[in-house]
Structure 1
Amino acid sequence: MSDVDEHLDLTEINAVRRLLTSKPRPVGWDERRARLDEVGSVWPIADDIRCEDAVFDGLDGEWSLAPGSDRDKVLLFFHGGGYCSGSLKSHRRMVTEAGRAMGMRTLAIDYRRAPEHPFPAQHEDALTAWRFLGRQGIAPDRIVVGGDSAGGNLTLCLVSILCAAGERLPRCLWLVSPWTDLSMSGATLSTKDAIDPIIHRAYLEELATAYVPHGVGRRDPLISPLFADLSGFPPMLIQVGSAETLLSDATRLAQAAGAADVKVGLEIWPHMIHAWPVWNAGLSAGRRTLHSAGSFVREYL
């Protein structure tokens, strides 16, 4: 990366930081959800993207298609938000531009959220979406599953469930800023705390308490996929920012996947914050991140 690119990245990411801190940190689930929807949808989707509602088996979802993309290949996308926030609205720009970069249709899922719907409701919804794609005639080897933050967690957990059932798996996985360890043992939760504008230990504790039922261990592999048996998993691309408290969640996942003989790519993007591709419209590093993900996916599909 040239000095010019780095200067631009710093200028743009600082503008996103100002957006995120322009209002007091919200309190309460309704306020948090509304705030994430607000900051995530500052930039609308591109004019040439076609979106269509997908309602099935009690779930709401949304298809998107960019010009020239292949309708018969699908990115199944799970949004972030700590399992408690996030929606189709907050992540619409990210998933639609990811579909463009990958050259395929996308299906984003509005899965149930905690605390109203704790674990395993989200796993049930992810599996429902997977089954829906099968009924649409989309073969597993033409599907990419991906997500950011908690959506990355859900991506990994879905594959664990499919592996345990002996079912066919998606062709590859795309994970952005994945939250893989709800026991919060990563070193960067402390070392990056002062520079991460979004994710802090106390906030994660609140999210995990809302999501994980009493009596379920935080190191359960279906809660914290960092501790899952990753043997036989599809190739995965992990993208994380250097300014994230969850950096260790990503790097330790890459190490665990590699030790399990999974083909894994790890990209650590300088100066980037948690889930930065959400703001790709105003962030050139976000657009480059999606382009890189598109190149990875095209290698396999």
Structure 2
Amino acid sequence: MASKQSEAVKAHWAASRAGSQSSVDQEASDHGWAVLTTEPRGVDYLSVEELPAVWVVPHGAAADRVLLCLHGGGFISGSMYSHRKMFGHLAKAAGVRALVVDYRLAPAYTHPAPVDDTTAAYEWLLDQGFAAERIAITGDSVGGALAITTQLRARERGLPLPAAAMPFSPAVDFEATGTSYDTNRDRDAFFHRDLVRGLAAMFLGADGDPRDPLVNPLYGDLSALGPIYIQVGGDEVLLDDAHQLAAAAEKAGVEVRLDVFPDMQHTFQMAAGRAPEADDAIGRMAAWVRPHLGLPDLPDLPDLGLTDLGLTDLGLTD
């Protein structure tokens, strides 16, 4: 059974479904996401002049290792501001810096604008002197898809590939063919087949192909990618997206780990610092990525600030 704190994620999605519209108030969307996540202590945020991005710098973090963080939002919403705190928890737990980037959104911009922007951010990191083997890419939802497609685009451009990727709740199948759209239909608080196909229509534009490998990496050549760690909620209609991505990567010879979290909603990790399931997931990602970035294993799971101030007032503690 989901914890009381994780029910806040479900309530967020239910409210989003009730008020969903074709147009998105970006500021309201950012606030709605960000309120789910506590502010991680001991983390500084620095604007980047050259990119629409923010550096997340935990105190004492390794300066030469970095997470490239790609936000979700169905390609129509989300930003570095909505997701910076969640990625802050992950960076702090892993003991590395993180670069949280923005990319152009639909309907004003369609494919391949997002993957071009995230690839440009990856190339910028390389130009700053970060070695590819010291970079890991992570992202939630469509950001999880971008964590893979950015690598495919980078390889097209002759760039070295990063050490690892951590997509969570990845949205890769924009034809919405998975059987979990049916089996989890009554458990997922927000997503359903028609909604995903509608988002795809906005993101792809009139001429886009949902089977383009830079849209759906299931149709891409995943060979030679670094190890991939996928997390997904057991109640998501996108559950099969995660299974399909894991299967495709394994078939291509890629090392894959897939963790399914029972009773969890889409991107439940946004409750980092509040919900034990989110903190568990963040801790697993941090412990997994450190050796892939050449850092020693964590002795045990870190304190992710579950007792941060304000939880009682928000009614989110037991």
Answer whether TM exceeds 0.5 for this pair.
Answer: yes
Alignment equivalent of 2:31, drawn from 34, 38, 43: 38
Give the drift of 1:182: 1.1
User: Would the aligned equivalents of 1:13 and 1:271 in 2 still touch at CA under 8 Å?
Assistant: no
Q: Secondary structure at the match of 1:250?
A: helix
Paired residues for 1:1-301 under 5 Å: 9-22=2-15, 24-31=18-25, 33-42=26-35, 43-56=37-50, 59-301=51-293
User: How does the TM-score come out when normalised to structure 1?
Assistant: 0.92
Measure how far apart 1:26 and its partner are.
2.9
Contact 1:145 1:172 in 2 (8 A): yes
User: Secondary structure in 1 aligned to 2:240?
Assistant: helix
Alpha-carbon deviations, 1:104-140, whole Å to 9, x = none?
A: 0000001110110111111221121012111211111
Supply the distance in 1 between the matched residues of 2:208 and 2:273 (Cα, whole angstroms).
40
Contact 1:26 1:35 in 2 (8 A): no
Q: Is the 8 A contact 1:118 1:212 kept in 2?
A: yes
User: In structure 1, what is the Cα distance between the partners aligned to 2:265 and 2:28?
Assistant: 17
Across the two proteins, how many residue pairs are aligned to each other? 291
Q: Flag the 1:115–1:69 CA change in 2: closer, same or farther, 3 A.
A: same
Question: Any stretches of 5+ residues in structure 2 without a counterpart?
Answer: 294-318
Identity rate, percent: 32
Residues of 1 paired with 2:286 and 2:123: CA distance?
24
Task: Give the TM-score, by structure 2 length.
Answer: 0.87
Letter in 1 for 2:74: G
- The letter for the 1-side match of 2:31 is E
Could you say what the CA RMSD is over the residues aligned between the two structures, in angstroms?
1.5
SS of aligned partner of 1:82: coil
Identify the structure with the greater helix proportion: 1
Deviating 4+ runs (over 6 angstroms): none
* SS at structure 2 position matched to 1:29: coil
One-letter amino acid of the structure 1 residue matched with residue 150 of structure 2 = L
Whether the aligned pair in 1 keeps the contact of 2:67 and 2:136 (CA below 8 Å) is: yes
Kept in 1, the 8 Å contact 2:72–2:142? The answer is yes
Query: Unaligned 5+ residue runs, structure 1?
Result: 1-6
Question: Which whole-Å deviations, capped at 9, do the CAs of 1:84-116 have from their partners, x for residues lacking one?
Answer: 111112111211111012210000001110110
Q: Write the distance in 2 (CA, Å) between the matches of 1:113 and 1:213.
A: 12
Kindly indicate whether the alpha-carbon contact (under 8 Å) linking 2:6 and 2:271 is maintained by their aligned counterparts in 1.
no
8 Å contact kept, 1:29–1:85: no
What whole-Å deviation, never above 9, does each CA across 1:143-194 have from its counterpart, x for those lacking one? 0011001001111111111223343100000111001111211111121111
Q: Distance in 1 between matches of 2:19 and 2:91?
A: 31
Post-superposition offset of 1:34: 4.0
Matched AA of 1:179? A
Contact 1:190 1:245 in 2 (8 A): yes
SS of the residue corresponding to residue 272 of structure 1 reads coil
